[in-house]
Amino acid sequence: WDALVKKLISIRFLETYHALRCADGGMIGQYEHTVWISPSGPEVLTIE
């Protein structure tokens, strides 16, 4: 996986970001979903 992720970053398919922090120094959690828009409507692909 490590090599694959590095390759995807090198071709700019993935982007890395610094960890987010609250003003008090605590960590922030962030989640995103991949959505496919089909002729029948949107479908969230990243929810099991």
How do residues 21-43 score in pLDDT, each as one tens digit?
Answer: 899 989 888 778 898 999 999 99
* Confidence (pLDDT) at 24: 93
Note the helical H segments in 1-48: 2-10
* pLDDT at residue 48 greater than cutoff 70: no
The predicted model scores a pTM of 0.40
3 state SS of 38 = strand
Percent of the chain with pLDDT over 90: 33
* Token pair 């959690």 in the structure block, residue: 29
* Confidence (pLDDT) at 18: 79
Q: Residue 45 and residue 1: Cα distance in Å, rounded?
A: 20
